[in-house]
A and B are shown apart, each in its own frame.
Chain A
Amino acid sequence: MYQYDQFDHTLVSERVAQFRDQVNRRLSGALSEDEFKPLRLMNGLYLQLHAYMLRVAVPYGVLSARQMRKLAHIARRYDKGYGHFTTRQNIQYNWPRLAEVPDILEELAAVEMHAIQTSGNTIRNTTADPFAGVAADEIADPRIYAELIRQWSTLHPEFSFLPRKFKIAITGAPRDRAAIKVHDIGIAMRRDANGNPGFEIWVGGGQGRTPVIAKRIRDFLPEPDLLSYVEAILRVYNQFGRRDNIYKARIKILVNDLGIDAFADAVETEWRAIRDGALRLPETEIARIAAHFAPPDYESVPALSVDFAKHPLAAPEFVQWVRSNTAAHKQPGYSIVTISLKPEGGIPGDATAAQMEAVADLAEVFGYGEIRVTKEQNLVLPDVKQFELHALWEALKRHDLATANVGLLTDIIACPGLDYCNLANARSIPIAQHISRRFANLKKLHDIGSLTLNISGCINACGHHHVGNIGILGVDKKGTEFYQVTLGGDAGTDAALGDIVGPAFAEDAIVDAVETIVNTYLEIRQDGERFIDTYRRAGLAPFKETLYGAR
């Protein structure tokens, strides 16, 4: 993974000192809250319901064991013993004290971490495929380009006061595990006829109040042009994005208002003026960054047969875990392991300091010290030898990290909701917990198969409910929490926004509604169809019928 050099170290240290000075000026009254708020947001510090909330950047979801240990230490020393992994691959702490945040940032800087631009109207963390560098289906490693974008976008003097937040995602595989089509800029790695890497560029996707699937703006952008092209898009957005209404300020609105052709023209015109300038990436620079992501010194181990887990003496729970929580690695004999942070009845994405430390240790014992954070709020150990999977599973079980539900119904993605968040209208976590308990039976869970369920506590959609196969949006009706269901969303390559199924459900009815939906699917599915396949074939009607028909 990327290692800081003197320039990176200097920048984060100076940033800490700058913020420390800003906090001191705030606490002495020299800065008003109005003046201070954008500054603290640019360092990822929100004020939420109960306390401040600090969002620490995990660039494109990659962490070292050492960094994970520091995150655990911060949870213990400065917070209440836990952290929350988010739908943008970051980590959030819910109880830091303003006066101590500069110290937290200093501790983070010591392990090459920061909270720069994880909030505010800036370019945020560029997210990427959590299986980057190891996925069997990978075209090119997106982390290299995510790191280039990270540096280019950090403290960018022209783009620090955008009309609104700006989110970029990049996938390196044909199967999109980064949800690029619901991002402001989505990037898909491609190769041209000569095998040279380049990018397919999408623009104007997003969720929130007005969910939109991105439009393709460029079929193939050559590698050296990445930063100049992205700069051109940002320059057009910064000048012409709406600033009169925060609900109409994202780039998706501008793309929609201009139309993709006119928008693309504006970008191409700007880009032609700068493409051969200082932002053109020399081969040496790409190679320098790429060297940080060279594969580890893999041991030569035999690939186990596909059915290796179905040993006659293997515990059925282990077989289930292998089926749901492991994925194909490009290196023979290795697997990619997803650690579920969704135990039965648990809070999705939360991890205790002890669990974080356990994961750090396991990353070193069972891998090369690297961990990934997924947008599904889980963790990944990217390089596990297949013959060690059983030992790893045993170890994960001891820390309640081995629930065999990755990619299944109880692998629920949920925003913090009204239990934590200032913006929320309804609680989301208790609903996740109810559903998790109702469907705890693993055999049944595996029979239901691949299904994404996302819950948001308000229309801002931080739980990404629009792209869940089943999406749940919490709303407030005259002081009571209700839950509206959408079906048929998809965050991947065939990205789609869910359809509203009908009137919202009360808190005591929503879990039954989910069960009805699942049972309907089980009844009408054909030939190995996943939930989303059945929905695409049969449409909303059968579900509307079973949910509301009897009324």
Chain B
Amino acid sequence: MALVKQGRIVDDPWTKVSEGVTPPAAGAILVPYALWERQRESLLTRNGPIGIALAGDHPPALIEADLARFELIALEFPTFKDGRAYSQARLLRERYGFTGELRATGDVLRDQFLFLHRCGFDAFEVTATGGAADWEAALSEISVAYQPGTDDRTPASVLRQSQPAA
């Protein structure tokens, strides 16, 4: 497993905590939603950054009130065909204003990098070793965006407005 951020493989400072396991007392921990729901109070008294992992059937509204407490949100792709996390990501960024790390985990493939980036993901857990090198290539494959996304690409319809009519 490699964590890719900004086109490079980086170390992962976050410890994944499974359900039923006592979280370490200090350090950055990534907890599943079920754990957060049960142990919210004790986790809030902890010293150290908190990240939360959502499954596809967790609407982002569930954590809206606590959003400011998370430095990391991980969204799971049980299979790359399950596209729910794209909507979750956009809602977290655009509706709820989440500014921390938004990480794609699970079945994350190079050919989804551009879609993921455009929906607001900025960190990717990949299995293939070529993940980082592919990043730049994947992002530059399609330079035109027809529709607005979370990223800073200007949609073609807007770019056209500043051009003389063809």
Chain A residues with CB under 8 Å of chain B are: 3, 5, 7-8, 10-11, 14-15, 17-18, 21-22, 35, 38-39, 121, 151-163, 227, 235, 238-239, 243, 273, 277-279, 282, 284-285, 288, 291
With contacts A285-B157, A288-B160 taken as known, whether A18 is within 8 angstroms of B83 at the C-beta atoms is: no
Asked if A10 contacts B86 (CB within 8 A), the reply is no
- Tell me, rounded to whole Å, the shortest Cβ–Cβ distance linking B104 to chain A: 12
Which residue of A154, A159, A161, A238 is within 8 Å of B146 (Cβ)? A154
Asked if B81 contacts A14 (CB within 8 A), the reply is no
Asked if B141 contacts A160 (CB within 8 A), the reply is no
Note all chain A residues with C-beta closer than 8 A to B157.
151, 285
Note all chain B residues with C-beta closer than 8 A to A5.
160, 166
Residue of chain B at shortest CB distance from A241: B84
The segment from B29-37, B44-52, B108-116 that touches chain A is B108-116
Note all chain B residues with C-beta closer than 8 A to A3.
166
Q: Confirm or deny: B90 has a beta carbon within 8 angstroms of a beta carbon on chain A.
A: yes
Q: Confirm or deny: B149 has a beta carbon within 8 angstroms of a beta carbon on chain A.
A: yes
Residue of chain B at shortest CB distance from A4: B166
- Tell me, rounded to whole Å, the shortest Cβ–Cβ distance linking A34 to chain B: 10
- Tell me, rounded to whole Å, the shortest Cβ–Cβ distance linking A230 to chain B: 11
Asked if A157 contacts B159 (CB within 8 A), the reply is no
- Tell me, rounded to whole Å, the shortest Cβ–Cβ distance linking A241 to chain B: 9
* Complex Cα–Cα for A95 and B104 (A): 38
19 contacts between A and B (CB under 8 A): A5-B166, A7-B156, A7-B159, A10-B143, A14-B143, A17-B141, A18-B141, A153-B147, A155-B142, A155-B145, A156-B147, A157-B147, A158-B86, A158-B119, A238-B87, A243-B56, A285-B160, A288-B160, A291-B165
Note all chain A residues with C-beta closer than 8 A to B59.
239
Note all chain A residues with C-beta closer than 8 A to B112.
161
Which residue of B81, B114, B117, B166 is within 8 Å of A161 (Cβ)? B81
Asked if B161 contacts A159 (CB within 8 A), the reply is no
Asked if A159 contacts B83 (CB within 8 A), the reply is yes
Note all chain A residues with C-beta closer than 8 A to B155.
278
Q: Confirm or deny: B103 has a beta carbon within 8 angstroms of a beta carbon on chain A.
A: no
Residues 30-68 of B contacting A (Cβ, < 8 Å): 56, 59
Q: Confirm or deny: B12 has a beta carbon within 8 angstroms of a beta carbon on chain A.
A: no
Note all chain B residues with C-beta closer than 8 A to A39.
111
Note all chain B residues with C-beta closer than 8 A to A15.
142
With contacts A157-B114, A239-B59 taken as known, whether A162 is within 8 angstroms of B83 at the C-beta atoms is: yes
Note all chain B residues with C-beta closer than 8 A to A161.
80-83, 86, 112, 115
* Complex Cα–Cα for A159 and B83 (A): 7
Asked if A160 contacts B83 (CB within 8 A), the reply is yes
Residue of chain A at shortest CB distance from B77: A161
- Tell me, rounded to whole Å, the shortest Cβ–Cβ distance linking B40 to chain A: 24
Residue of chain A at shortest CB distance from B155: A278
Note all chain A residues with C-beta closer than 8 A to B111.
22, 35, 39
With contacts A5-B166, A160-B115, A288-B165 taken as known, whether A235 is within 8 angstroms of B87 at the C-beta atoms is: yes
* Complex Cα–Cα for A15 and B142 (A): 7
* Complex Cα–Cα for A8 and B143 (A): 11
Note all chain B residues with C-beta closer than 8 A to A227.
147
Which residue of A153, A154, A238 is within 8 Å of B84 (Cβ)? A238
- Tell me, rounded to whole Å, the shortest Cβ–Cβ distance linking B44 to chain A: 28
Q: Confirm or deny: B105 has a beta carbon within 8 angstroms of a beta carbon on chain A.
A: no
Q: Confirm or deny: B148 has a beta carbon within 8 angstroms of a beta carbon on chain A.
A: yes
* Complex Cα–Cα for A291 and B125 (A): 46
Asked if B142 contacts A38 (CB within 8 A), the reply is no
Note all chain B residues with C-beta closer than 8 A to A279.
147-148
- Tell me, rounded to whole Å, the shortest Cβ–Cβ distance linking A227 to chain B: 8
* Complex Cα–Cα for A42 and B145 (A): 17
Q: Confirm or deny: B144 has a beta carbon within 8 angstroms of a beta carbon on chain A.
A: yes
- Tell me, rounded to whole Å, the shortest Cβ–Cβ distance linking B54 to chain A: 12
Q: Confirm or deny: B95 has a beta carbon within 8 angstroms of a beta carbon on chain A.
A: yes
Residue of chain A at shortest CB distance from B84: A239
Asked if B141 contacts A11 (CB within 8 A), the reply is no
Note all chain B residues with C-beta closer than 8 A to A278.
148, 155
* Complex Cα–Cα for A3 and B86 (A): 31
Which residue of B81, B115, B160 is within 8 Å of A157 (Cβ)? B115
Which residue of B80, B116, B146, B166 is within 8 Å of A151 (Cβ)? B146
* Complex Cα–Cα for A163 and B82 (A): 7
Which residue of B82, B142, B159 is within 8 Å of A14 (Cβ)? B142
* Complex Cα–Cα for A238 and B141 (A): 25
* Complex Cα–Cα for A174 and B75 (A): 45
* Complex Cα–Cα for A154 and B115 (A): 12
* Complex Cα–Cα for A151 and B159 (A): 14
* Complex Cα–Cα for A162 and B82 (A): 7
Asked if A14 contacts B147 (CB within 8 A), the reply is no
Please provide the 9 A-B residue pairs with the shortest distance between their CB atoms, ordered closest to farther: A161-B83, A157-B118, A278-B148, A7-B156, A157-B115, A11-B144, A151-B146, A158-B86, A18-B141
Asked if B161 contacts A14 (CB within 8 A), the reply is no
Asked if B87 contacts A158 (CB within 8 A), the reply is yes
Residues 10-29 of B contacting A (Cβ, < 8 Å): none
* Complex Cα–Cα for A14 and B145 (A): 12
Note all chain A residues with C-beta closer than 8 A to B141.
14, 17-18, 21
* Complex Cα–Cα for A22 and B160 (A): 30
* Complex Cα–Cα for A175 and B21 (A): 63
Note all chain B residues with C-beta closer than 8 A to A163.
83
Note all chain B residues with C-beta closer than 8 A to A154.
146
* Complex Cα–Cα for A158 and B151 (A): 12
Note all chain B residues with C-beta closer than 8 A to A17.
141
Note all chain A residues with C-beta closer than 8 A to B146.
7, 11, 151-152, 154-156
Asked if A7 contacts B144 (CB within 8 A), the reply is yes
* Complex Cα–Cα for A8 and B160 (A): 11
With contacts A7-B160, A158-B87 taken as known, whether A243 is within 8 angstroms of B82 at the C-beta atoms is: yes
* Complex Cα–Cα for A39 and B80 (A): 11
- Tell me, rounded to whole Å, the shortest Cβ–Cβ distance linking B131 to chain A: 13
* Complex Cα–Cα for A155 and B115 (A): 8
* Complex Cα–Cα for A404 and B56 (A): 54
Asked if B81 contacts A151 (CB within 8 A), the reply is no
Residue of chain B at shortest CB distance from A291: B165
- Known contacts A155-B142, A285-B161, then 18 further A-B pairs from the complex at CB < 8 Å, ordered by chain A residue: A5-B166, A11-B142, A22-B111, A38-B80, A152-B146, A157-B86, A157-B115, A158-B87, A161-B86, A161-B115, A238-B87, A239-B59, A239-B84, A243-B56, A243-B84, A278-B148, A278-B155, A285-B160
